[in-house]
Amino acid sequence: MAQRKTKSIYTCSNCGYQSPKWMGKCPDCQQWNTLVEETVPSSKGKTHRIGESHAKPLRLKEIASQDEPRKQCGISELDRVLGGGIVAGSFTLIGGDPGIGKSTLLLQAIDQLSRNGKTLYVTGEESCLQVKLRAERLGVNPEHLFLLAETALETIFDKVRDVQPDFLIIDSIQTMFTTQIESAPGSVSQVRECAGQLMQQAKNSNLPTFIVGHVTKDGSIAGPRVLEHMVDTVLYFEGDPGHPYRILRAVKNRFGSTNEIGVFQMSDCGLREVKNPSEIFLAERPEDAPGSVVIPSVEGSRPILVELQALVSSAPYGTARRTAMGIDHNRVSLLVAVLEKKVGMSLLSHDIFVNVAGGVKIDEPAADLAILAALASSHLNKSVPRRTVVFGEIGLAGEIRAVSQPELRIKEAARLGFERCLLPTSNSKNLETPSGITLCPVATAQDALDQLFDH
């Protein structure tokens, strides 16, 4: 009997890069030791059959348009991140570190969803009893929730046909496997194939599907990054384990805006929505402390005030340390260089620490001016004046450049009782200023520091 030939291929478990030979470092994502061997059946002898499908091209105007009917899950932070609710037949990936709260969030979302229709929750990680105990603790008691502890994809498809759910949740994709592929559950090819088949089911039967994917730093389980291009929506649930705040971020959304965020707080009875994140992030701010600055940052359509802290202290040994948390350290290095060269502040022999309070991450250039102000404030040991916020991008020549959505930022700052706002000159034209806040346009880094510290 002729044996079916198989060949080996090495796949990066982090990014999905494939290579015919093993390598220590993935040339694509630069991670070490992530290439794992997988066997794939030889494609020799397989012929692609053409002409089987009955799909035919349609004129755009022939396609019946329908308003995407969206279903709300009752958690407004989640609905907003999804773009206004769940679209029929949509396929959503919720990624995040293990233990961050993905299962908890979905269980809470099911509560409302299952009042309108049937939900099938497939768990590959916990037993049905464990899920039930958790649901009870969360006060989730929906009538139409069906639990299934199963990892074989083929069985899951059978059960979906039996139950005919209105929503399907797969927790997690790394535990699922299909018998069509030989490699172990969690390997890149299994994860990709399972997600592909689930996606097809979602589209064919118009079944909204959520899949949970763990991201691990060492890449030992296939990261959901290999799935990002397949799915409709990618939500990342992030947060610092030491802080109760969790941020749900849309990084891709075919049915809504990306970079929309939802803020939650983990409590002993599950996740609670945080409607006023600015107030919480500023609650513990030490006023008049040198090095502390408030930034009105914008996430999607939402302004959030966060506190940025810097500590500049003289380095006792030769090499100075530069540490940045919640912010890109390259940005900090750039701004240190601007302070050295354009303002004449010598930071070369100083340790520099920058941190965003509350475990928040900021990755917009509008934070530049705040980083610069925090560094200068700590170095000069002078606090930034009370009730002042700053925003603006800084160029290499020390110039302050315009950023997006200045009005939103100023409005949120005024709402929280801030009285002064330093902003780029080019942003300050034709702006409606809310009452109670004074705008101070600044054009250069030096200009900004003069305004803040009479430097």
Q: Which of 265, 227, 219, 271 is nearest to 243 (CA)?
A: 265
Taking the least distance from each CB to ligand TYD, the nearer of 214 and 331 is 214
Output the smallest distance, CB 198 to ligand TYD, in A. 18
- Which of Mg ion, ligand TYD, none lies near 423, with the C-beta cut-off 5 to 8 A by kind? none
Scan residues 324-343 and list those touching Mg ion (CB under 5 A): none
Which x/- pattern, by CB under 5 A, does the window 91-110 give for Mg ion? ------------x-------
Cis peptide before 267 (omega within 30 of 0): no
- Which of ligand TYD, Mg ion, none lies near 98, with the C-beta cut-off 5 to 8 A by kind? ligand TYD
Q: Which of 236, 216, 219 is nearest to 228 (CA)?
A: 236
Output the smallest distance, CB 63 to ligand TYD, in A. 39
CB 224 within 8 A of CB 106: no
Output the smallest distance, CB 270 to ligand TYD, in A. 4
Residue 167 in tokens: 């929503």
Taking the least distance from each CB to Mg ion, the nearer of 103 and 427 is 103
Interface with ligand TYD (CB under 6 A): 96, 98-104, 134, 137-138, 266, 268-270
Q: How many whole angstroms separate alpha carbon 178 and alpha carbon 158?
A: 13
Output the smallest distance, CB 95 to ligand TYD, in A. 9
Output the smallest distance, CB 372 to ligand TYD, in A. 36
Taking the least distance from each CB to ligand TYD, the nearer of 175 and 444 is 175
Q: How many whole angstroms separate alpha carbon 170 and alpha carbon 194?
A: 11
Break the chain down into helix, strand, coil percent, rounded to 5. 30, 30, 45
Output the smallest distance, CB 99 to Mg ion, in A. 8
Q: Which of 387, 373, 377, 390 is nearest to 424 (CA)?
A: 390
Residue 135, CB half-sphere, CA atoms under 13 Å: how many? Answer: 21
- Which of ligand TYD, Mg ion, none lies near 424, with the C-beta cut-off 5 to 8 A by kind? none
Taking the least distance from each CB to Mg ion, the nearer of 175 and 427 is 175
Taking the least distance from each CB to Mg ion, the nearer of 31 and 103 is 103
- Quick one: CA dihedral 333, 338, 341, 346, positive or negative? negative
How, if at all, do strands 233-239 and 167-171 pair? unpaired
Binding site for Mg ion (CB under 5 A): 103
